[in-house]
Amino acid sequence: MAIARALANDPPIIIADEPTGSLDSVTADHVFQVFEHLLERGKTIIMVTHDNSLAPRFTRHILIQDGEILPEKRRRA
């Protein structure tokens, strides 16, 4: 429901804080399919997650540790 509510006014940017945090893997994959469709339509999605395994699904990712953005060379895969 939260995603539907966020999309109701057709915003150009969507901010999602742990949108898959409490979902099973199948439902989480459906959420990502919706996000991918939105990206194809020119939307920008800013998502916060603690799941590093999701990084390959994003165009760009930024890692924050102890309140600071990690430089590229210190990032772990």
SS3 call for 40: helix
The reported pTM is 0.75
Question: The domain 2-74: what is its CATH number?
Answer: 3.40.50.300
Q: Tell me the pLDDT tens digit for each residue of 34-69.
A: 999 999 999 999 999 888 887 788 888 888 889 999
pLDDT at 76: 56
Buried/exposed code over 16-44 (b: 16+ C-beta within 10 A; e: otherwise): beebbeeeeeeebeeeeeebeebeeeeee
The domain locations on the chain are 2-74
- In 1-77, which residue ranges form alpha helices assigned H by DSSP? 2-7, 25-40
